[in-house]
Structure 1
């Protein structure tokens, strides 16, 4: 064990449009104290990019795509929890399996959301999926990938066909951060029926589409939950508090202060390091709940503590947030400011080493 040094410095059928071959190719080529603080941000994280300029709205198809089956009754949380979860999680309604989604993709009230960048979506996506790149939820006025304002999130989600009553299933490629980050953002905004596709697109194993899907506009009324978005001040107060845990989802090298991506390296004193990739098995699906429970409890991240998650920019830590919610942790938050805020502040305490 290396010695630690503490340094204190001063979402009715969607309409579709088929991408032209030339257009699709052109775009593709261009382009978590007792709280647990989870450190976030993928290893390739950068500050939130400016939101892309608006593009021409998709052309509504003149004929609706052939239905594969008659729409089923709108799914409820109870039915989803009973049938959708691929594993025995405490909160099974927060995750769906590929098999479940293939059977229920045409259900009334279900909105499938692709959280990947637009260029990836155009190359191929799940049939019927609406593209909502997670970067569109960031506040362009902030440099720390913080979520946008209440009003802008309401407008964005409504434009993507996400209503308060919608059953939302989000995916990315699998073993990535966009789906988990969008999941967290929707929960922060007050949506109560959101899930992530276990394994993502790489686990799909079925046909994909290059049709651009435009969902009918919906009304989403946000009720922001501040407990989902702990602040730098709350994280500072969590230091030494036995009722809270700071969970850092970054790599061990970042945690120790060897991989420095801000003015100062290291970690918040007392923080626990569980890298976000440890939540996945050998493929793109999450590990079994028993293994995940053992992983967190062995490190001292237990359900009787309040959890604050962080990483570099609140993205990798969103995976930790999702997993802890699945495991039934009652108090979990994602510190979106994360190390890019903490590590650039001369006044915050920092520790190097293991």
Structure 2
């Protein structure tokens, strides 16, 4: 079984494209795919993790994502590489969804379709549904229950990638009933992980900023900025996951602790 890093670049893809165990999925949607796609890829829309991390919701969602994978011809035995327009906004959440469903080898293409140096193919492609079984991996999606139970866990780094004002509870979103941060979270604004939009800093520079934790969960207000942070962290080789519920969910549960200042 071939190994697969969590983030690959176009140089890697040019070498591997055409391999029988490679499935290249375009998460932009079938219309964008038909207008122009990396040769050999197929449209594969998986969505994003839900904004609320109730276990019942995840238990219902995982087999639904597995069904989407099978309908598009994904068996779970291949290397699954996902790409978007180039900024990671679509591919990183889709990768987490595939991981939730139980796919064991999922990667995101750095730079997406915009980084592909050769001519794009145009037109629709035929999909071939398959029969396959996926075993859900519920640990792929961090939940408020997991985080609240690991607040003192030294092996876990909870990374708050919001602004300084949000982190300190001074100026958050008015839709949130409470302001502050998850106790013990370290602050690192998402902008400090990127050299430019869709372009993470070199891995060594990210590691200088983050250190060497065993496990990272990133969060923001509603999971968008932290999804990008997760993308950047994975380029540096970290085991990183995005808490999609983020502060929008955490702040709504009065039983969950917070810090300010």
Aligned length: 256
Aligned pairs for 1:158-237 (under 5 A) are: 158-237=70-149
Q: Which residue of 2 aligns with 1:276?
A: 190
What displacement does 1:195 show? 1.5
What displacement does 1:279 show? 3.0
Distance 2:27 2:70 in 1: 15
Where in structure 1 are there 5+ consecutive unaligned residues? 1-75, 82-92
Distance 1:256 1:283 in 2: 26
Structure 2 CA distance for partners of 1:295 and 1:124, relative to 1, 3 Å = same
- TM-score after normalising by structure 1: 0.62
Larger radius of gyration: 1
Distance 1:251 1:206 in 2: 38
Distance 1:309 1:198 in 2: 19
* C-alpha contact (below 8 Å) 1:116/1:134 kept by paired residues: no
Q: Which residue of 1 aligns with 2:220?
A: 311
What displacement does 1:162 show? 1.1
Where in structure 2 are there 5+ consecutive unaligned residues? none
Alignment partner of 2:2 out of 58, 62, 77: 77
Alignment partner of 2:176 out of 247, 262, 265: 262
What displacement does 1:324 show? 4.1
* C-alpha contact (below 8 Å) 2:150/2:156 kept by paired residues: yes
What displacement does 1:157 show? 0.5
Q: Which structure ranks higher in relative contact order (CA pairs < 8 Å, sequence separation ≥ 6)?
A: 1
Alignment partner of 2:67 out of 149, 155, 160: 155
CA deviation map 1:255-311 (0-9, x unaligned): 3342315233332122112233433323633322111111111xxxx324x433323
Structure 2 CA distance for partners of 1:267 and 1:123, relative to 1, 3 Å = farther
Distance 1:187 1:143 in 2: 17
In the alignment, is residue 349 of structure 1 matched against residue 227 of structure 2? Answer: no
In the alignment, is residue 338 of structure 1 matched against residue 250 of structure 2? Answer: no
Distance 2:218 2:190 in 1: 11
SS in 1 for 2:24: strand
Distance 1:163 1:176 in 2: 24
What root-mean-square deviation, in Å, do the aligned CA atoms of Structure 1 and Structure 2 show? 2.9
